[in-house]
Structure 1
């Protein structure tokens, strides 16, 4: 174990993530943004683009700040590569997805909560990979790393493609809802959520770490529940919504 690593923050942070995931399932209510936004008449809010940028930014800035301090080599140690994958995801979420988003205005109170979560999770994952992870030289050929990175890239591809489909549903200025078509939306209502869940399961496998496992569990709970509520929303407002389409897992759920 690297000498700079303190186990207490890692254990507390991981336990907090897992607890948040369990509480999300226990209460079972959708977060009040996007399709599930309540009245904005009295609530302070920002545009979806500004809100998503500000919310996701800490998850990129914190690990990127640690990453640039690592040794410059063509192919660094596994922990540096894995931290780089984390940064790649949040670079896209912060600087690409946020500016393609055409969603509804975002409540500032949820923006604050989301930013705090992103800051904490970004710090937890990057702290572990920078100061605690100690992979052997042969980790690049380990099946956990190979399969995990494959799932991460696959999930990110699904997530980006699905988000692109959603962003193209509306023309600028439109506020109506439409049924997403194409890609994994052919089979599930939450294709974008499924992609991100696969990503973080792959990340947990590739890092073989408690913080990443806790984050994957949280993502499964939070995004899985959101996919369920999206699925129910679509069935409620579209009488012709495809009956065979599931919420999150093709042909199953």
Structure 2
């Protein structure tokens, strides 16, 4: 009964051990990363990673933050752009999913180049690992979508509504990234409490909109892998938002008590 209802919304899982394994690995690894953030084991490109032993290990090779962030996103961006040439005859849903991924990573690259401000460096080993995970998850999502070609469509079609949700997420995420960037004037390196937009109600609205980005992509895709990746991403960003709020509270005595971590008034 549950499975029959579920498959009204999803394509049946393809007979691919790779896709099945990656669905489990993506969800488990992202969820674990979220719990690690809560426990204080932060990603090495975060503002609060300096509290970890890894950041203080001077023997580790490091890279300029701007170059590091470009390295995070560029391989995945090139992979999804290449998919249009590799699979030129796939259907409209495939084109929408790949278009959404292209817009997502192109926005990230543009933000690295023209929006974000930087104040440090990144552990190059961690950067390569994270970049590889972005690349692999993107390739897996594209390949999984390709495997749906010729299969019966889910009886409940979410592709257009999903693409609209994706666009809302992209716009909201970009807007709040711009607000974060505008907190600092040229040459400033110190952090400030974000203000404006949904920052007046939650410390990480940009993460909320990033979750919407992947909710939109998974609704457009309607594959089990996309859903698994989105659920894992949501758990990771929930954990990261908790860690971010805790960091701001530790740095600013005047941090407003009413501000939530991720969702205004709720969480």
Q: TM-score range by the shorter chain?
A: 0.7 to 0.9
Alignment of 1:1-253 (within 5 A): 7-27=16-36, 28=38, 29-38=41-50, 39=55, 42=58, 43-71=60-88, 77-94=92-109, 96-99=110-113, 100-103=115-118, 104-134=120-150, 143-253=157-267
Answer whether contact 1:155 1:197 (CA < 8 A) is retained.
yes
The Cα offsets for residues 152-183 of structure 1, whole Å up to 9 and x where unpaired, read as 11111111111111112112322100111111
Instruction: Tell me, yes or no, if the aligned pair for 1:48 and 1:101 is still in contact at 8 Å.
Output: no
Provide the TM-score with structure 1 as the length reference. Answer: 0.88
Q: Encode CA deviations 1:77-119: one digit per residue, 9 max, x unaligned.
A: 221122111111011112x011122133222122011111012
Q: Tell me, in whole angstroms, the C-alpha distance in 2 between the residues paired with 1:134 and 1:161.
A: 39
Query: Post-superposition shift, 1:213?
Result: 0.8
What displacement does 1:136 show? 6.1
Unaligned runs of 5+ in 2: 1-13
Which consecutive segments of 4 or more residues in structure 1 shift more than 3 A? 25-28, 69-73, 131-139
Give the count of matched residue pairs.
244
Name the stretch that deviates more: 129-138 or 8-17.
129-138
3-state DSSP of counterpart to 2:180: helix
TM-score (norm 2): 0.83
Q: Distance in 2 between matches of 1:133 and 1:40?
A: 49
Cα separation, partners in 2 of 1:56 and 1:6, compared to 1, 3 Å? farther
Show CA shifts across 1:60-81 (max 9, x none). 11121111344489xx622112
Shift in Å at residue 41 of structure 1? 6.6
